Amino acid sequence: MRSAWTVSFPSKTKSRCENHKPMLRFRPRVLWVAISGVFLFVGSRAVSQAAFFSSELTDFTVYLSAANALTRGIDPYSIESAHGWHFISPVATAVLFAPLTEFPTVVAAAIWYLLSVGFLAGTILLTLSLFIQDRDSGILARTWVVPLLLLRS
């Protein structure tokens, strides 16, 4: 069985330019499985924090409470979320979350998480398309670093 890491040694016969490759290269399939695992973990955490635990580790319930209030004709700034927090964003934000009030909190949180992953992927791809003219450039293969850094932060 081949390991996830490939170690390539520079050959003496190769040119100097060809040798300018990383010594360690991660197999793309393993890499994307790992990234999917991280996103799945973060997603399950995000959804569970919003739906099941009364912790302060989510802002989603604040938006959802405000949207709920708005759809019922109540002032969104007068209500508190399940964690006792107030809504502090412009009204348009509450409107944005209004369609999610049709679903149970766990489903709404999952939908919002998937949308957020899509927003992140879209932002990265658009930024790369602005900066990178050469699609064969090795930097495209390293874009996985960006979401991981964001998750870390």
Partner 1 sequence: MTLSRGQWSLLIGLLITLGWWLSQKDHRFLSGHCFGFAAALKLLPIVFACYLIVKRRWVALGGFVTALIIGAIVMPGMFVKWLEIPKLYAEWFRLVVNPAFTGTHNDLYGELLNPAIKRSQQPKSVLSRA
**Under the rule (CB under 8 A), what is the footprint of partner 1?**
42-43, 45-46, 49-50, 56-61, 63, 70-71, 73, 75-77, 85-86, 88-96, 98, 109, 112-113, 115-117, 119-120, 122-123, 126-127, 129-130, 150-151, 153
Q: How far apart are CA 31 and CA 5, in angstroms?
A: 10
Q: Which is nearer to partner 1, 59 or 143 (CB)?
A: 59
Q: Which is nearer to partner 1, 23 or 126 (CB)?
A: 126
> CB of 86: closest distance to partner 1 in angstroms?
6
Q: Which is nearer to partner 1, 23 or 150 (CB)?
A: 150
What pairs with residue 86 in β-bridges? Answer: 80
User: Whose CA is closest to 120, among 35, 49, 52?
Assistant: 35
Q: Are 144 and 136 in contact (CB under 8 A)?
A: no
> CB of 61: closest distance to partner 1 in angstroms?
8
> CB of 107: closest distance to partner 1 in angstroms?
13
Q: Are 100 and 112 in contact (CB under 8 A)?
A: yes
Q: Are 89 and 65 in contact (CB under 8 A)?
A: no
3-state helix, strand, coil in the chain (%, to 5): 60, 5, 35
> CB of 132: closest distance to partner 1 in angstroms?
13
